[in-house]
Amino acid sequence: MQFISTRGGMSPVSFSEVLLEGLAPDGGLAVPDALPRISAETLETWRALTYPQLAAEVIGLFATDIPREDIARMTEAAYAEFPDAVVPLRTIGGGLTLVGLSEGPTLAFKDLAMQFLGQVLEYVLEKKGTTLNILGATSGDTGSAAEYALRGKQGVSVTMLSPQGRMSDFQRAQMYSLQDENIHNIAIEGVFDDCQNLVKELAGDVDFKRETRLGAVNSINLARIAAQSVYYFWAWLRATDALPEREGFEVSFTVPSGNFGNILSGFFAKQMGVPIRRLVLAANENNVLDEYFRTGIYRPRSSDETLATSSPSMDISKASNLERFIFDLVGRDPQRVVAAWGELAEQGFFDMSADLDRFTGEFGIVSGTSTHADRLATIRSVHEAGFGIIDPHTADGVKVARDYVEDGVPMLVLETAKPEKFAETIREAIGVEIDYSDELRELLAAPQRVVDQSGDAAELRAYIQAHAVL
């Protein structure tokens, strides 16, 4: 498999090359030149595989330039500290099943991609004899997952931008308590979109990018999408294990989404052959994506209009990965992608309402919005029904999923984080104090190391130049 740019200005490159690039040189995002189609027979042979073995098979379809035995070794190492199931499934009533994506070291779904990314980055850098300076932005969970996966790795530094005062106490503690020399945290005045804009601005400066060997771990990095697509295969296999007739049996997935990366992974899995009926996008009050999939109009909001909510990892109003979906929507025509983004820059929105029927028909994507009151009520209802405690982002997913349950079609809701990360909201919803382990209490009490910045690009450039691994 080779990779091209959504904007047409990049010659096809390998997985290893796109892994280190982040944004394409033309400002677009890397996408596969063609996705493989997995047969029902192959899916059936994958049923007996462990999660690391399945990950090697799926990721190996993307990373065709890396020997399969090396990928298998890396996936085994990536998931060695997860429970045996890695991604367990559990029913919560009402036709819903949670897909447990938060069993990793930082208690969030980002670990499933980041733990592999840490392995493969170190592998590729060693093969190429070079270094990489990661610049990322986080609304809550990407930062800690990336830092835990890359701390202490040879030839890699991580500079992670996060919005001041916009994450939970637990999320801040996870990131800012790390003392590794190759980990750098910068708190930016503003919201996540301001952090993301800085990443894109510096990544779009080709000379600076080359000078500092700048790379990305946000979901603009295609390796993240490839690694996340694995759990859609896994969840379908586990959900259909007991069925006597399972070939082509469709399930639906509900995905709490802010930056569109997680649901894009499901979109890829569906195109590759996983029998998915619907992909249900669950937004919070920052519901730009819900508006887009309901009306066809994409209208990002300004920083001032982006709300601080109780599901902070979704407090995003500019979804970077939407461009990859748009690329397929317009028939993989890069000129039409560039034109859409030109309209966005000129008038603040673009209109694709003519394609609304294709959203729900050809692509199977529907959406909904959840509010703070919805989150509290959903957490409460799941707990009172005896199905445990869910975090607020997962609650957004459960709330929206309930509107799309169909008879005979299992609804799988992606659990995005553990409730321990959002104790304040859990207390408000059900009056329960989260019982932290001794290890987590030590984390919350640990000294924190973070640099505050105003969001000035020149200030950030100077910091990266001073701390880069070259």
Alpha-carbon distance 450 to 448, whole Å? 7
Alpha-carbon distance 384 to 316, whole Å? 31
Alpha-carbon distance 104 to 111, whole Å? 6
- For 42-89, give the secondary structure using H, E and C: HHHHHHHCCHHHHHHHHHHHHCCCCCHHHHHHHHHHHCCCCCCCCCCE
Catalytic residue among 110, 209, 270, 418: 110
Q: Distance from CA of residue 289 to its chain's centroid?
A: 15
Q: Distance from CA of residue 192 to its chain's centroid?
A: 14
Beta pairing class for 451-453 and 350-351:
unpaired
Integer Rg of the chain from CA: 21
Alpha-carbon distance 111 to 127, whole Å? 24
Q: Largest Cα–Cα distance of the chain, in whole Å? A: 61
110 part of the active site: yes
Reading phi first (left if > 0) and then psi (alpha if -120 to 50, else beta), residue 273 is in left
Alpha-carbon distance 311 to 382, whole Å? 17
Q: What angle do CA 416, 418, 423 make, to 5 degrees?
A: 125
Counting Cα atoms < 13 Å in the Cβ hemisphere of 247 gives 7
Residue 282: strand, helix, or coil: strand
Handedness of CA 120, 28, 58, 251 (dihedral sign): positive
Alpha-carbon distance 310 to 189, whole Å? 19
Burial class (CB in 10 A: 0-12, 13-18, 19+), 469: middle
> Catalytic residues, which ones?
110
